[in-house]
Chain A
């Protein structure tokens, strides 16, 4: 089972056996095929000059929100893949399914799949929505909110701790980021671009 190898690096667990990985998949009802779509979104971001991160929100086996980085085009530094996906749920999906009043319940039963560790801002958003399962690819050493720079979940209410699975197809996610940073960020302030050289 390819899935089981992919999550052999779980936070705090270190390398785990194929059977344990299968256990984690089963008990949390994870379906790592959703990462395919997250990666597709990340590639789309790269193709339009955005930081390549893609994100999928799944509720009862169904994708109810998806997003990719939208920062440069929107000129809004908070339009990260996760917040874009959340907005799709709260607007399009909720209206279509008549779920506007049940959003809190829906989010509290969602799974989030994202190619790169959510930043501190996004991790706090996920924490406030009480999204119980978070699966991500590469760690984010600059902004990571799931432990890399700060563990946002340890700062929240003690009654809620999401399950976080990391390292799923991390190399692929890093490869996409490398491709992006080979070209300069077109929206970075001029001075910063110069300083890098």
Chain B
């Protein structure tokens, strides 16, 4: 319980040849501490009585329905959860239980959301678990990315980090995973609020406004459109629909929300932004309730 950090979550760090990806998840998903709650349990007199007992006991309340009702113990007997309250003295279910074994026992308080949490919860009491495909992918090796995809991530991370070291300015790049090419790269400018994300979005918007114009003709002092053809998005979609965004630094709250407004698909960043980071350090925008678009966020460790 509490928030001890003694055990580092095994699903969090997965090593590829050169990079490590850490998915930035809602606390409820990344938590590895299984919180416990005490409920009344008792041993069943005889194994034959188990199915009859299930008929007699009231169903588990909704806050406990992630728990299996009955488990077998090491001594090869069966043990059942009674509930938050014990049974009345005249309850017919009592005849099927061993009264002296009625006691409060700790069981997992929350529904397991990942296979890791499921495994850990089961050490305490068996649980029901319906894995969410997307989440299982995120917490699996390389966050579910293929070796080829990891190669793409490594390339794009190198692009933004090279530019960051060269310009000494935070850098953002937009990658199109369908056409498999880098769309644009920009760094921040020293002027107020001209962060790399906003600069990238401005470049992309300009190319959308002038679809006839050859992109190669446009010049910006903070970045460039990399792909040779006219940028996709003929469908008056949002600017970054389906696009992956690579950042030398976690975006500030303004830029994180700008990426959300632009409907980016996945965000990869290298350094945390402890002062004002919007996707990990200060808030996790993509985990807030009420947000109308969700993207996946990964911290990259080189």
Contact = CB atoms under 8 A, between A and B. Distances in A.
A126 B128 CA distance: 47
Contacts of B276: 124, 128, 155-156
Contacts of B73: none
A155 B290 contact: no
Interface in A120-144: 120-125, 127-129, 141-143
Nearest to A190: B235
Interface stretch (B89-97, B117-125, B138-146, B200-208): B200-208
Contact of B283 (A77, A122, A129, A150): A150
B191 to A, nearest CB: 7
Contact of A76 (B192, B239, B263): B239
A72 B262 CA distance: 12
Given A74-B209, A77-B239, A78-B201, A124 B192 contact: no
Interface in B249-302: 252-255, 257-258, 261-263, 275-276, 278, 282-283, 285, 288-292
Interface in A93-130: 103-104, 107, 119-125, 127-129
Nearest to A104: B192
Nearest to B262: A77
A12 interface: no
A107 B291 CA distance: 29
Interface residues of A, number: 35
Contacts, number: 90
B60 to A, nearest CB: 35
A79 B202 CA distance: 9
B201 A155 contact: no
B162 interface: no
- Residue of A107, A142, A150 contacting most chain B CB atoms (<10 Å): A150
A86 B235 contact: no
A75 interface: yes
A124 B252 CA distance: 8
B261 A189 contact: no
Contacts of A56: none
B237 interface: yes
Given A79-B205, A107-B192, A155-B253, 16 more contacts: A76-B204, A78-B201, A83-B193, A90-B191, A90-B192, A121-B255, A122-B254, A124-B254, A125-B193, A125-B254, A142-B292, A149-B289, A150-B288, A155-B276, A187-B236, A190-B235
Interface of A: 74-79, 83, 86, 90, 103-104, 107, 119-125, 127-129, 141-143, 145, 149-150, 152, 155-157, 187, 189-190
